[in-house]
Amino acid sequence: MPNIVSTPMHGVARRLTRTLVVGGVATLLLGACSSLLDVDNPNNVTPNALDNPTAAGALVNGAINLNANALSSMMNAYNIISDESFQTGSRDDYRLLDTGGLDINTNEYLQASYLVAMRARWISEQAMQKVAKFQADGSLADPQLLAQAYLMGALIYDEMGNMYDDVAISDRTVAGPNLGEMNMVQVYDSALKWLDLGEPIATGDNHANIVGLRARVRFDRAVWLMLNPPGTTPANPLVNDPQAVADATQAISEMSGDYIYDLLVDNTNSGDDASGGVGFEMNSRVEHTPDTAAFVTIDLTNKKPKAIIAKDPVTGLVDAAAVKMIGRFIFASDINHPPMAVVSKREMYLIRAEAALAAGDNATFDTNINALRAIDGKAAYTGTGPTRLQLLQWERRINLVFQGRRLNDMYRFGIKDPRWLSTSIAVRKPGCLLPIPLLERDANTAITGTPVCQ
């Protein structure tokens, strides 16, 4: 036995042993003190804090900011599918979208947009529920917060219908089933329900926004019904929804000047997903570039837009509406975070004009289209030059540019992006939108059915 020498304990050692035993016990007791484990980590908010009425503002702001984020992320995936922009960068999954391959459910930009959209949906619903409860309890200091919560809930549901073929509605860990591709009209119905609840509460701009968004949702719902089931171009692509027209008329009366309700994305909102948001991807990283056939010229050195060249089909001059609406997106003061339009007076005129055209009421069409053109000082349309249908398509294209309307317009008007491959889903099945991403399908056992759009 090496190096171990047994030494009889003497008195000192015994005292030592006792001391050590006492010390050891004290050590154990002190170590067990739970205060050592009670650490201070003030970085986040716990769930019960959201039940405090003072959290109403934070909930609604969270919904607004996440909706802004979601719009930025969704437009990043969506714009490049349509002919509004095309791929110029390095990322392969943009190329898939650009060439009409929007049915690939592993696409990273689809996934990124879906994640942010689902987060926005959930927090918007939380905001509606909790703030409505505060209102019922009489503890809500500012009822306009509830109106804004309904506005955000309706917005994200409307955008889900416009962007995705199908969605699932789950809650935290509880998986919810998908609505089904043929049932997506329900998201518009939900949006309308909330807007109806919000409308009596809202005042001022909130009221204009709610009524305007309701017009938009009704219009988008009609477009969805027109394009589904997907696979054909509708014989009559025009929407004439009287309730949409009525809401648009009401909204116009409440909107002054060139009224646009924007959601603003700040720097902390971008980069919250796989991309940096549409502004960064388009204007800084230049992964995609605005359409050079109709919209802009670009600097061949850096592929950034140099000038807006979109021509007004009526006058043949550079279209002032295009200069404004494209310009505010690509030449924004903060190019990484351009404004994300939600509701505009321009769109209200377009809804009324289209309904009139669908009804064969050229005079009303001209009245509304010229009211729209007057916003930018453009010459009135008198029936010469482009047809009314052509003019409607053009005005929609530039007045709603980068707002997530173009792909459905292309589908219903039978327009194909020259970059779409003939074998792509965009060509084969007009009306098909982005699918539920694989990430959701893998995680959600409640999802059933096989996508129609594949």
Partner 1 sequence: MPISGRYRAALTLLVLPLMAALAPVLRAQDAAGVGTIEGHVRAQGTSRPVEGAQVHVVGANMDATTNADGVYRIANVPARDVQLRIRMLGFASVTRNVTVQAGSTQTVDFTLSASAVQLEAIVTTGTAGATEVKRLGNTVATIEPPTFAPIRTASEMLQGREPGVVGLSSSGLVGEAMKIRIRGNASLTQSNEPIIFVDGLRINSSGASNANATLSNLDAIDPSTIERIEILKGAAAATLYGTEASNGVIQIFTKQGSAGPPKWDVTVSQDFSNYPTNRIDDNWGVPTRAGQLDTLKKLWGRNDLALYTPFSEPLQRKYFETGSAQTVQVAVTGGTQNLNYLVSGNYSDDDGPWAAEKLGGLAQDVVRRSGGRTSVNFFMTPKVRLGAQATYSNTYANRPQYGNNIYSPVTLLEFSKPDLGNCANSDPTGTDPDFGVQAPGVCKIAGNPTGSPNAFGTPRETAQKLAEITGDRFISSMNLAYMPTASLNVTGLLGVDYLSQTVTNFQPFGYNIDGVIGDDVYGDKGIQDTNNRQITLDVKANWTRDFLTSFNSAFLAGVQGFLTKVKYPGSFGYDFPGPGISRTDAAGTQQAYDGILETVNGGYFAQDQVAYKNFLYLTVGSRYDYSSAFGKSAAGVLYPKASISFVPSDLAGFHVPSVSSLRLRAAWGKSGRQPSAFAKFTTFAAQTGPSGAGLRPDNLGNPDLKPEVSTEVEGGTEIGFLHDRIGIEATYWKRRVNDLLFGLQYPPSGGFTNAQLTNVGVMDAHGTELALRGFVVQTPDVSLEAFSNIAFLKQKVVSLGAAPELKTGGSYARIRGYIREGYAPGEFFGAKLKQVPAGSLPYDINKDGVPDTEAEMLAFLSVPRDYTAIFNGSVIMTEDGINSDLGKPTPDYTGSFGANINFAKNWRVSSLFEYKGGHYTYWCLICGFRNASPVGTNSKLFAQTRATLLNPASTAQQRLDAAKVWANDLASLTPYQGLNEVSNGDFLRFRELSVTWLAPRSVASRIGGRDVSFTLTGRNLFLWTKYQGVDPEVSYVGGGGQVGSDGSYVNENFVESIDAFGFPLPRRIGLSVRIGY
Site for partner 1 in 74-133 (CB under 8 A): 88-90, 92-93, 95-96, 99, 101, 104, 106-108, 111-112, 114-116, 118-119, 121-123, 126
Residue with smaller CB distance to partner 1, 77 or 252: 77
Q: Does 170 bind partner 1 (CB under 8 A)?
A: yes
CB of 424 to partner 1, least distance (A): 8
Look up residue 261 and give its DSSP letter. E
Residue with smaller CB distance to partner 1, 278 or 321: 278
Rounded to an integer, what distance in angstroms lies between the CA atom of residue 298 and that of residue 311?
16
Of the residues 136, 189, 266, 362, which one makes contact with partner 1 according to CB under 8 A: 266
Residue with smaller CB distance to partner 1, 112 or 146: 112
The token pair that represents 381 in the structure block: 């349309």
220 in Cβ contact with 323 (< 8 Å)? no
353-382 residues in contact with partner 1 (CB under 8 A) are none
The token pair that represents 203 in the structure block: 């005042």
From the list 136-144, 183-191, 355-363, 440-448, the region that binds partner 1 by CB under 8 A is 440-448
275-334 residues in contact with partner 1 (CB under 8 A) are 280, 283-287, 299-304, 334
From the list 46-54, 220-228, 307-315, 346-354, the region that binds partner 1 by CB under 8 A is 46-54
- Who's near 72: CB < 8 A, 6+ residues apart? 265, 269, 270, 277, 278, 279, 337, 340
From the list 21-29, 216-224, 350-358, 371-379, the region that binds partner 1 by CB under 8 A is 21-29
- List, as one string, the DSSP characters of 85-142: EEE-SS-HHHHHHHTT-TT-TT-HHHHHHHHHHHHHHHHHHHHHHHHHHHHHHT--S-
- CA 20, distance to chain mean position in Å, is 66
390-419 residues in contact with partner 1 (CB under 8 A) are none
Place of tokens 């201070």: 40
- CA 22, distance to chain mean position in Å, is 65
Count of residues in contact with partner 1, rule CB under 8 A: 119
Residue with smaller CB distance to partner 1, 382 or 445: 445
CB of 39 to partner 1, least distance (A): 4
270 in Cβ contact with 223 (< 8 Å)? no
β-sheet bridge partners, residue 340: 263
CB of 229 to partner 1, least distance (A): 23
